[in-house]
Amino acid sequence: MKILNEWLKNQSKHHRIMKIKQSKPDFTKIRKKDEFRIYSYFLSDTLYPLAGSTISAGFPAYAENFKTEPVSIDKFLVEKPESTYIIQVSGESMIDAGIFPESFIVVDTSIKPVNNAIVVARYFDEFIVKRIKIFPDHAVLVAENANRNYPKIHIDETTDFEVWGTVVGTFKKLK
């Protein structure tokens, strides 16, 4: 029995996941030279027609034949208004994840960060958006841009780091 208990104790050590500190955003902790804009939004009752099929980028399809129930864009992007904020992105570190310079990301503070999620975080005095990889004793923040070699950011329990929300969507106006 003693051997079994010892084995179980060792197994729990190996299957432990690093606890990621999560808190509400406190923008006073960000260095002042960083420029960022937080946007408030409001939910509207505006509904837009939604074509009932996907669209081909090659052959024209007639949307009139595929109309379904209308969709509210803000209700589609914002599931929990009380815990959601929108912020505009600068920089190119996440373009392979579909997050481009000048696009907006929708961030939900109520969602716990999980492995492989895209998170908004405070890393020391910087405000960043990266994909998080969570391991038993550390986490790694990873940029997603194949054209540039951004360094990985290694996080352990002693790092001055906290997640300020999980990215749930993005949007950008085409020019």
Catalytic positions, written as ranges: 93, 130
Give how far Cα 121 sits from Cα of 10, 128, 129, 164, Å.
32, 5, 6, 5
**Lookup: tokens for 103:** 């696009």
d(CA 52, CA 118) in angstroms, rounded, equals 29
d(CA 46, CA 163) in angstroms, rounded, equals 32
- Taking alpha carbons only, the member of 132, 169, 15 closest to residue 161 is 132
Q: Which residues of 17-44 are buried (b: 16+ CB within 10 A; e: fewer)?
A: eeebebeebeeeeeeeeeeeeeeeeeee
**Lookup: tokens for 155:** 């996080």
The DSSP line for 23-63 is: ----GGGS-TTS---EE--------B--BSS---SSS---G
